[in-house]
Structure 1
Amino acid sequence: MTGPLAGVTVLDLSRVLAAPLATQILAELGATVIKVERPGAGDETRGFEPRLPHGESAYFFAFNRGKQSVTVDLKDPRGRDVVRKLAARADVVVENFLPGTLDRLGLGYADLSAANPGLVLVSATGFGQTGPDAHRKGYDTVFQALSGVMAMTGDPAGPPAKTGVPVADLTSGLWVVIAVLAGLAGRSSDGRGRHLDVAMMDVQLSLHALNAARLFALGEDPVRTGTEHPGRVPSAAFQAGDGEWLHISGSDQHWGPLCTVLGLSALAADPSLQHNAGRVEHRARVMKALRGAIARHDRDQLVKELQAAEVPAGAVRSVREALADPHAVARGVVGEFTHPVEGSFPALRTPLRETSGDAPAPGTPPVLGADTDVVLRDLAGLSDGEIEGLRAAGVI
């Protein structure tokens, strides 16, 4: 696979979602990614739902495209020696074990960088390498709860809610990519490797940039506002007369055109509502009028009229509708790969492209251990006899 990261070798010791998403992105940007998995079982997501007709996991497919799979038993000293040989030839190692685990196995940064001073090691953990919670395990929805993201999600009259996507895992995966690229950029300037610490909890707290601004500026602990924006009116989802939903997000320059489309001349003429601060102050009155007016229109026609008036608005779509939208189709958002077991299967493309070309084609997720022999021979320098000996002993 070609791309801007061609020539970069990544040793992927991670599992499940956040870090595997990161290494998939690196793979589809051209890096050679070698995923190390447990013999016989592999990444546990290989057994996650939804399952495909021949037994493969669509969950695993979503985060492991374009990688090579090598099976190595890290509990066996011979397996750890194999990993050291691979790390000695790698540019990057990505791992998500609890802090100290790799050190105890002799695979920590001090051990690996001694043989490869330019190595970039990214450790992606729940709570980071330091602090009182460093050895605490964590999961996406738990991070949403602990970080305040869950408290901010949902209708203000209802209970807290998780987000519709695993936001803690996904955003943390993006920060692992940032860490890898920052490490490689730093190495290109000073020649040395780095050990970079990505904590999922830190990432979730960083998402509160605007919430924290209100807390720091006003002493206000933000609360759930549903689809409404705490500092801008109108910015919310509204139900149209046909039962469908749309979202409108307007600023001062959109207020007049919005009122014109909705026939709200009295609101348009009210001087107290000309600026956002006034509309925020009179939020209840404004929102009641908007809801009543929007309920007299069918959604799709209203969206067309608002767009014609240059008022930011869009239909609230299902996932199926969003992926089938003509713009998404024209952008090639959904691609496909051909898997040796399951055949042709759709996949969301990595959303980064050069303006002169298409987005990266989705890579094929590896069959468990399919690349063990070639990787151990070509990268680790093992002979065919040594490989067969390790296999006979159950190490690979």
Structure 2
Amino acid sequence: MKGALEGITVLDLSRVLAGPYCTMILGDLGADVMKVEAPGGSDETRGWGPPFQNGVSAYYLCANRNKRSITVNLKTEEGREIIRTLAKDADVVINNFKTGSMENWDLDYDSLKAINPRLVYCSITGFGETGPYRHLPGYDYIIQGMSGLMSITGNDESGPMKIGVAMVDILTGLYSAISIEAALLERERSGQGQKIDMSLMDTAVSSLANVASNYLISGAIPRRLGNDHPNIVPYSTFRAMDGELIIAVGNNRQFATLCEVMGISEIAADERFHTNEARVNHKLELTGILENRLQIKPANEWMELFSQHNIPCGPIATMDQVFNHPQVLAREMVVEVDHPEAGSVKLVGSPIKLSRTETKIERHPPIAGEHTVEILQQAGYSHVEIEQLKKNNIIQIYQEAYTL
């Protein structure tokens, strides 16, 4: 069965994480993604590590499967002409160069729209293409700080903390994929492409969700809550006899059941804890009572009891526990792919489960320039033209794939 985006061609001029993560999603869904880098490979993540597997960066492997690779020197007019040629038949172009770079190269939306009016063009920048910060570079870590995310992450003792992964990049990649798919769907009605202006800062601010709404409604600046919830109690990590567990009680019925299972049913009727609003106002008192009671059993015993009574709870798993978890394995969230240099590598599977047009991993994360010849030949370049481009250092060809 063909993928949902089979027949969609994506020209990917992005690097690092937000853009590559977006195009990996599109590739998993069946799109033909052509990853464009400078000769030698200009995606910085190729060198980010350790860890490496046979010289191949684990970071690079996480966001670049289901793509073909072509290396082109965009600093030359001949190289930029290759991009224009490929863009003529592309459905999507995505880049994350600094604002103004694509205009300087005549590879901006207006320039490419002139040769392909159906083109969907996605630009990912730190702050977007309007506003006083539009020319500044953007990095996930900096944006986490500027957007307010760090101000609510951590606790009073830790100080502001960043999220453990580059979550702003990930979310921007997801929003970009959604935007591209929406633009492609709209194109079916209008016949026209359009430009998508994605900003890491916009994405980060939108991810504040209920915390932002709390501030906008109340005017109160939220403090760092650690693992607590600003609106629900008990909804946090709690220490049992041998370690921590998560308890996430969302309503009064669940709270009454929790108290009954823990052998402190009288607490549910206490006016300090009878409603969620009351529990929020008396959080420290309730937390002390719960943690004192939790000390009588190991965490796993409590979680088994809670689960039997449909009380939301769970462990704080380490990576080895996650990737050996029977549910994770059953859902094929760990996959193995053969790579010509790294050997057999394990990758995180796709969370997208479609009943007919299932996601597939059909290509390993490519070596820089691995498909240069293949892509240029498909675009109509002759043997002589490709050889001349190689001779002039406009392109670089991965030698094991050099089949002219």
| Equivalent residue, structure 2, for 1:388 | 387
Is 2:43 aligned against 1:39? no
> Does the CA contact (< 8 Å) of 1:28 and 1:363 recur in 2?
no
Once the two structures are TM-superposed, the CA of residue 156 in structure 1 deviates from its matched residue by 2.7
Say which SS state the counterpart of residue 34 (structure 1) adopts.
strand
Matched position secondary structure for 1:254: helix
Moved more, 170-179 or 355-364: 355-364
Rounded Cα–Cα distance in structure 2 between residues aligned with 1:212 and 1:89: 42
- Is the Cα–Cα contact under 8 Å of residues 336 and 362 in structure 1 kept in the other structure? no
Preserved contact between residue 51 and residue 58 of structure 2 (Cα < 8 Å) = yes
Whether the 8 Å contact between 2:3 and 2:359 is mirrored in structure 1 is no
Aligned partners of 1:192 and 1:358: how far apart in 2? 28
In angstroms, what is the RMSD of aligned CA positions? 1.4
Matched residues, number = 394
Partner residue, 1:13: 13
Shift of 1:42: 3.0
One-letter amino acid matched to 2:45: T
Q: Which residue of 1 aligns with 2:400?
A: none
Alignment of 1:124-273 (within 5 A): 124-242=124-242, 244-250=243-249, 251-273=251-273
Distance 2:120 2:315 in 1: 44
Instruction: Name the CA distance, whole Å, in 1 between partners of 2:85 and 2:359.
Output: 34
Q: How far did residue 47 of structure 1 move?
A: 1.1
Question: How far did residue 324 of structure 1 move?
Answer: 1.2
- Structure-2 separation of matches of 1:354 and 1:212: 33
Question: Per-residue displacement from partner, 1:212-238 (whole Å, max 9, x unpaired)?
Answer: 211122111111111111111100001
Q: Distance in 1 between matches of 2:362 and 2:349?
A: 6
Q: Is the CA contact 2:255–2:268 (under 8 Å) kept in the aligned structure 1?
A: yes
1:105-146: CA deviation from partner (whole Å, max 9, x where unpaired) = 011111101010000000011000011111111211111100
How far 1:68 sits from its partner (Å)? 0.4
CA distances 1:167-217 after superposition (whole Å, capped 9, x unpaired): 111111111111211110111111111011000000000011211211122
Q: Tell me the residue number matched to 2:95.
A: 95
TM-score by length of 1: 0.97
Q: Which residue number in structure 2 is paired with residue 365 of structure 1? A: 365
CA apart distance, 1:49: 0.8
- CA deviations on 1:219-270 (whole Å, 9 max, x unpaired) are 111111111111111000011111x211111021111111112121331232
1:141 and 1:52 map into 2 onto residues whose CA distance is 23
What is the CA-CA distance between 1:11 and the residue it aligns to? 0.1
Match for residue 328 of structure 1?
Answer: 328
Paired residue for 2:22?
22
1:279 alignment counterpart: 279
- Map of 2:402 onto structure 1: none
Q: Is the contact made by 1:350 and 1:362 (CA closer than 8 Å) also made in structure 2?
A: no
Which stretch of the first structure deviates more once superposed, 128-137 or 153-162?
153-162
Structure 1: which 4+ aligned runs deviate by more than 6 Å? none
Letter in 2 for 1:213: S
Cα distance between partner residues in 2 of 1:174 and 1:288: 40
CA apart distance, 1:358: 6.0
- Counterpart secondary structure, 1:148: coil
**1:56 aligns to what?**
56
Alignment check: 8 A CA contact 1:22 1:176 kept: yes
Structure 1 residues 57 and 19, CA, compared in 2 at 3 Å: closer, same or farther? Answer: same
Higher relative contact order (CA 8 A, sep 6+): 2
C-alpha distance in 2, partners of 1:79/1:118? Answer: 23
The percentage of counterpart residues that share the same residue type is: 39
Do 1:246 and 1:316's aligned partners in 2 also have CA atoms closer than 8 Å?
A: yes
SS of 1:198's equivalent in the other structure is: strand
Bigger mean CA deviation after superposition, 203-212 or 263-272: 263-272
* Cα displacement string for residues 273-296 of structure 1 (whole angstroms, at most 9, x for unaligned residues): 221111112212111101111122
1:73-112 alignment runs, 5 A limit: 73-112=73-112
CA distance in 2 between partners of 1:362 and 1:284 (Å): 52
| One-letter amino acid matched to 1:328 | V
Rounded to whole Å, the distance in 1 between the matches of 2:212 and 2:260 is 36
Unaligned runs of 5+ in 2: 396-404
Measure the CA separation in 2 of the matches of 1:122 and 1:357. Answer: 25
Segments of 5+ residues of structure 1 without an aligned counterpart are none
The correspondence of residues 63-78 of structure 1 with structure 2, limited to 5 A, is: 63-78=63-78
